Structure 1
Amino acid sequence: MPERIEWLDDGTAGGSPFSPRFGDRYRSELGGLDQAREVFLKGCGLPEAWGGQPQWTVLETGFGLGLNFLVTWAAWKADPDRPRLLHFVSTEAFPASAADVLRSAQTHPELVPFAEQLQAQLWGLLPGFHRLVFEGGRVLLTLCIGDAKAMLREQLFEADSVYLDGFSPQRNPDIWDLHTFKAVARCCRRGTRIATWTIARSVRDALAQCGFVVKKVPGIPPKRDNLQGEFNPAWEPKKAQASPQRRAPSNCVVIGAGLAGAAVAASLARRGWQVRVLDAAEEPAAGASGLPAGLLAPHVSPDDNLLSRLSRHGIRATLQQAEAVLPAGDWGRTGVLEHEVEHPRKRPEAWQAEWADAAGHWSRPADSAQLAQCGLPAGTPALWHARAGWVRPAALVDAWLAAPGVQSLGRSTVSRLSHAAGQWQALDAQGQELARAELVVLAAGFASRAMAAGADVEGGELALQAIRGQVSWGRHEPGTAAALPAFPVNGHGSLAPAVPLPGEAGGLAWVMGSSFERDNARPETRPEDDQHNFSRLQALLPQAAQALAPQFEAGQVQSWAGVRCATPSRLPALGPLAPGLWVCSGMGSRGLTFAALCGELLAAKLHAEPLPLEQRLADALAPQRVPAG
């Protein structure tokens, strides 16, 4: 359940939010706006300190009702000398509801437009990280749900400003203890400024032990003093890992104009890179990303394993991108029903107890009405994925490649990579240079394996496997729409029931599939695969299969085949292979789920930004190798 908040009718505008858990107010007696501006923003020297910087990162130890974030975002937007990118990382053990966050801002009309955008993204806040995106990807809120100490151990970045906030040390001592400040210090560079409203002696002593030099400064009524300072330890900090170094945008070559390559290109371009995308085909999305339509739905497991958690991160990222760059005819957030044909999927136990509301935003048991729309009897084991839908992958690729700073070149087959003088050259079969840059990203699906091997990368071949898949599709005929569910269904193959057809003719199509053939890199279509898809549909949706049978019998079904690329772990492969050479591949049948997330993760690592997901999840994507010989 969202954190319970009581709104006290104490004469203040809109009432005062009060926490029964901690017996304390969420903001000062005279309102939180002055506190957010004077104590935190100005206390860290903002907005002046970030002027002219390429990026700025704020760390906050208690998100509460989001007021500090809203004030910082508003200050960023109003500043003509603002940084290109603003990161705001905030921890929160007990997240409030989206409605309470919006209500909290209602007394400050200038913040309401920002609060409404924030409210729209405050869904599905299960324990862990959640990357919320605003201002076209230039304001990034990483909301970390859980204990501050545990959450900060999952990050590795250097904050420029720190807001120490939370309920009073007497009410919530854990957020102000020595171990929390050690975790904060781990995320600071020498010179990072901190600010807080409390001057408790225990807080000052703990901060000093962690290397912060602090002083009392005049406060705002009714408080006489606040606390300001900076991270400036008398010793050289020993961090668990070497701190990553921020790098300036430069030139990059991405090999592969499918979902993976286009997502990487767009993420880097948003940070100021000039990106050249090379692809052997004449047009983008000519490989597996040319699928007529693909489904976007989370993976569910009883232990909430790596794939499940990564799929939620990826779906949130893709939905954000789809909403920003695609028209309605190229995608639909319709929800997806998962018919558990082979075995029921168990959800984590916590999803049915303390996290039931947040989990329900993602996946919950399908109800009888949803089953009836699919022609399935009540009680059929099935899940309803509320934040799911379908996407036309090629449309997403085109939108990403149209980003300012991206140049896409077709008929550019890279046969070999060569490295000299700090730059990588992409060469064709005749040894002619196609492009050069200090950074090259291999995003060419299964072909990435051969390219990496040809570049003499140490550590063995990339563990990538070619998987051929074929989908079947057909146009809607009179009565087709009424015979099919109103939303996609998966679980034993899949059916996207109503995909708008591009072009002047228009109309709707159904798309079903897909076959799954390992170690086959030939994308030819085969009639027997259409029959295989149809037989799976008969088990998945018997009523829909009966309605579509005449089109199969009359030979009116179209086919499309492509070659996906997978890893042994079923997780993407993302990481460096050599200095200046990265790979982003191996997304299997979940390219729509993982591409946007991987593009942002790659960019975050290059720029030493806060990660969009937990460090242990990011580490799980390290490219796997097959030992030579």
Structure 2
Amino acid sequence: MSVESLPLPPSEKPGESLEPPLNGESITWLADGTPYSPRFGDRYRSELGGLDQARQGFLGGCGLPEAWAHASQWRILEIGFGFGLNFLVTWAAWKADPLRPRVLHFASIEAYPVSADDLLRGLPDDPQLQLLAEQLQAQWWGLLPGVHRLSFDNGQVLLTLYVGDAQTVLRKQQLTVDSVYLDGFSPKLNPELWSPEAMKNVARHCRRGTAVASWCIAGSVREGLAQQGFEVRKVPGIPPKRHNLRAVYNPRWEPRHKDDGLPPPVTAPERCLVIGAGLAGAAAAASLARRGWQVSVLDAADAPAAGASGLPSGLFCPHVSPDDSVLSRLSRSGVRTTLQILQQLSIAQLLDQGKDWEHSGVLEHDLHEPVNLPPQWLDAATPQSHAGLQWSCPATPEQLAAAHLPAASHALWHEQAGWVRPAQLVKALLGTAGIRWQGNAPVARLAQTDDALWTAMDAEGKTLAQAEMVVVALGPASTALLQASGLQAGAWEIAPIRGQVSMAAHTAQTRAAMPPFPVNGHGNLVPDFPNAQGQRQWIMGSTFERDVTALPPTQAEQRDAHASNGEKLAALLPECRQALDDFFAAKTQPPTWARVRCAAYDRIPVVGPVELKSNGLWLLTGMGSRGLTLSMLAGELLAARVHGEPLPLDAKLALALHSQRMSARATKT
């Protein structure tokens, strides 16, 4: 953003004026190549390019990179993302520093994101920053109002982008930071950003010792910071500024932060036991291992993903609703996180895109009217229109034709969606450095010693493993383990749900009848994926048998499940169902693939401490039928809670997942 208020001189004419971009802020490009905001009547940066201001004024102004040396994590808050120059400079400094923190958190607020094209155009001519900016641009999509977590360098550089009004964001979001970049347009042009109330909101997110840097030295800003407990001083500026501002949060009083109902954050990674080797357990283990934990994953089976996460193939896909409900917003955050992790694992050659997963898009055949997109997404006059339609939009006639559906069908196209072989994803996650897999290790009870060490024991009382922290991710068996360990979580409303899918190898006839992409609706179809031997298959399902846990299902139950899956397919894709008639009408059918998953009473995952007094014992469960969409996000949320990091999703959404809701409900009933 601007390093000072520099309105256009009367003699200067814009070098180029662009129409407002579909998904970003309208930018005017001046003759000297500087981006200019007609909305605020100000430059985004000085005519000298802004690179020195970013490196010396903000990064250096907060004492970085020296201040973060040997830290396990460093958290930066920026007011005004603009074209991302401060982020890119900080990221480049982190990459170049041998003493860098293991995880760099950069949280930035932007009310009016620029377009993806302008993001690159607005950068100084610096080859290193250009390479980083291209990675940023690749994730610069779907930026609806709210919180977006972007992930780089294998999850060790995390950009949390808050799209919205700075004052509102600072009041509602939960984060504590080590450095603050106070940027933005001039106080004369954007006074609310620099008001005393704004400085109070910034102080809410500071710890004692948090450093602040800014190009703005206005007396009202310095006074506002001083009133909130900052020690403020002017320092020599970066041209064209004569002075810059530096401050340190060091109030005379003891700062108090809102109690979020969680144990105190850990100060350094230690050892952790993850009980359960499905998607949830593997996601938690990988998120913690990326932060330096030594993680042992224990499971009763002799191989990972032996439960519901062993599904041969499944979908990750956003949920949509006209009111953009909690589940809809949660699913978008989940899809973004899942895509990032799949791409990172593919770069690391732990997954094979096209064989283990595909960002294919998913057609949702809506059998009910109307199509349930938020109305503002369909109104081209709203700023949310293009960003929303980058997620989900009405299906095109060509997409309907490819699925052999009538042109009048009600259907959506989810661009940010695809299919995954879950067992391969679990295996790849468990390959993260710092994770040790321990099979044939059925945990029957957990106990905490006087020195706060957790012990996992088998049914005979034999110690299987010990660690400072435990994550229980056993799906439907999670609450039974906690209850057997003398905890109260057994009263929580988490129901087991058996699911059965139908699948078979393709024939030439069935493959020709399949759509070229997965289809979701009442049940879902992954039309073409390879099994372990490379044979092409289709899979359709699943049944939803609440409170049924028996495995394997009886032959009668399997026949009923095949019939149910066939009926769903007939409604979803009638022509495809006809092509599979030999399968569904056969007197002798192959067994269904059946496992048991679980869901909380409100169909929202459970992520949080089991009991506040049980410091170090966490629960991650209740993914229901959305494990591929939500597990990776849930693992990141758990790790963020443990470490006191900026959350990877909106604070209100995070609260909806909190384990305390289960305890509160159990107490009321």
TM-score range, shorter chain: over 0.9
SS in 2 for 1:8: strand
- Whether 1:581 aligns to 2:617 is yes
Between the aligned partners of 1:372 and 1:342, the Cα distance in structure 2 is 19
Query: What is the CA–CA distance in structure 2 between the aligned matches of 1:210 and 1:55, rounded to whole Å?
Result: 25
Describe the superposition over 1:96-142 as per-residue Cα deviations: whole angstroms up to 9, x where unpaired.
11111111226222211100000000111011110100001110000
Partner of 2:94: 76
State which drifts further: 235-244 or 461-470: 235-244
TM-score normalised over the length of structure 1: 0.97
Aligned residue for 2:598, secondary structure, equals strand
Distance 1:183 1:279 in 2: 45
Q: Is the 8 A contact 2:28 2:38 kept in 1?
A: no
Question: Do 1:247 and 1:606's aligned partners in 2 also have CA atoms closer than 8 Å?
Answer: no
User: Residues of 1 paired with 2:666 and 2:77: CA distance?
Assistant: 41
Alignment of 1:200-219 (within 5 A): 200-219=218-237
Aligned partner of 1:567: which letter? A
CA distance in 1, matches of 2:125, 2:299: 53
**2:363 matched to 1:330?**
no
Structure 2 alignment gaps of length 5 or more = 1-21, 346-350
- 1:552 Cα deviation after fit: 2.8
**Aligned residue number for residue 117 of structure 1:** 135
Q: State the one-letter code of the partner of 2:438.
A: L
1:552: which partner in 2?
584
- Structure 1 residue 7: Cα displacement: 4.2
CA–CA distance in 2 between the matches of 1:237 and 1:544?
Answer: 63
What is the deviation of 1:616? 1.3
Q: CA contact under 8 A between 1:28 and 1:35: conserved in structure 2?
A: no
Relative to 1, partners in 2 of residues 1:113 and 1:558: Cα closer, same or farther, differing over 3 Å? farther
Alpha carbons of structure 1 residues 4 and 615: separation in structure 2 relative to 1, 3 Å: closer
| Aligned partner (choices 116, 124, 140) of residue 98 of structure 1 | 116
Map of 2:277 onto structure 1? 257
Match of 1:153 among 171, 184, 190: 171
Cα deviation 1:415-472 (Å, max 9, x = unaligned): 1112222122111111111111121111000100101111222466222100000011
SS at match of 1:584: strand
Please show how residues 16-415 of structure 1 align to structure 2 within 5 Å.
16-105=34-123, 107-241=125-259, 244-325=264-345, 326-328=351-353, 329-352=355-378, 353-415=382-444
Letter of the 1:4 partner, please give it.
E
Residue 474 in structure 1 maps to residue 513 in structure 2? no
CA distance in 1, matches of 2:188, 2:170: 23
The match for 2:565 among 525, 533, 538 is: 533
The residue aligned with 1:10 is 31
Q: Provide structure 1 residue ranges, at least 5 long, that are not aligned to the other structure.
A: none
Q: Is the 8 A contact 2:208 2:255 kept in 1?
A: no
Kindly provide the amino acid, as one letter, of the partner of residue 513 in structure 1: G
* TM-score when normalising by structure 2: 0.91
Deviation at 1:200, TM superposition (A): 1.2
Counterpart of 1:606 in structure 2 is 642
- 2:481 corresponds to which letter in structure 1? M
CA contact (8 A) 2:360 2:418 kept: yes
For residue 157 of structure 1, report the CA deviation from its aligned partner: 2.8
Q: Partners in 1 of 2:24 and 2:223 — Cα distance?
A: 31
Q: Please, which moves more after superposition, 430-439 or 385-394?
A: 430-439
Amino acid at match of 1:569: D
Cα distance in 1 between the residues matched to 2:159 and 2:417: 22
- Is contact 1:2-1:94 (8 Å) kept? no
Over residues 304-350 of structure 1, what are the superposed CA-to-partner deviations in whole Å (9 max), with x where a residue is unaligned? 11111111111111111111112110001110011111443422233
C-alpha contact 2:265 2:641 (8 A) present in aligned 1 = no
- Please say if residues 62 and 166 of structure 1, whose CA atoms lie closer than 8 Å, have aligned partners that are also in contact: yes
CA contact (8 A) 1:572 1:621 kept: yes
State which drifts further: 93-102 or 341-350. Answer: 341-350
Q: Which residue of 1 aligns with 2:16?
A: none
| Closer, same or farther: CA 36–273 of 1 in aligned 2, 3 Å | same
| Displacement of 1:192 | 0.6
Matched-pair identity in %: 56
> Any conservation in 2 of the 1:442–1:584 contact (CA below 8 Å)?
yes
1:567 matched to 2:600: yes
- Report the 3-state secondary structure (helix = DSSP H, G, I; strand = E; otherwise coil) of the residue aligned with 2:658: coil
Query: Residues of 2 paired with 1:433 and 1:459: CA distance?
Result: 23
- Provide Cα deviations, 1:511-565, integer angstroms capped at 9, x if missing partner: 1000010001123241220111011100110011111112333446552001011
Q: CA deviation at 1:351?
A: 2.0
Q: Could you tell me which amino acid in structure 1 is paired with residue 527 of structure 2?
A: P
Q: Distance in 2 between matches of 1:559 and 1:458?
A: 36
> Aligned to 2:508, what secondary structure does the other structure show?
coil
Tell me how far apart the structure 2 counterparts of residues 573 and 4 of structure 1 sit (CA, whole Å). Answer: 37
What SS does the aligned partner of 2:232 have? strand
**What secondary structure, in the 3-state scheme, does the structure 1 residue paired with 2:122 have?**
helix
CA deviation profile, 1:257-307 (whole Å, cap 9, x unmatched)? 000001111111111111111111111101000101111111111111111
Q: Given the alignment, which residue of 517, 524, 527 partners 1:494?
A: 524
SS at match of 1:313: helix
Read off the aligned partner of 2:581 and give its amino acid letter. A
C-alpha contact 1:460 1:627 (8 A) present in aligned 2? no
2:479–2:490 contact (8 Å) kept in structure 1: no
Q: Hey, what does 1:465 align to over in structure 2?
A: 495
Aligned positions, number: 624
| CA distance in 2 between partners of 1:164 and 1:622 (Å) | 32
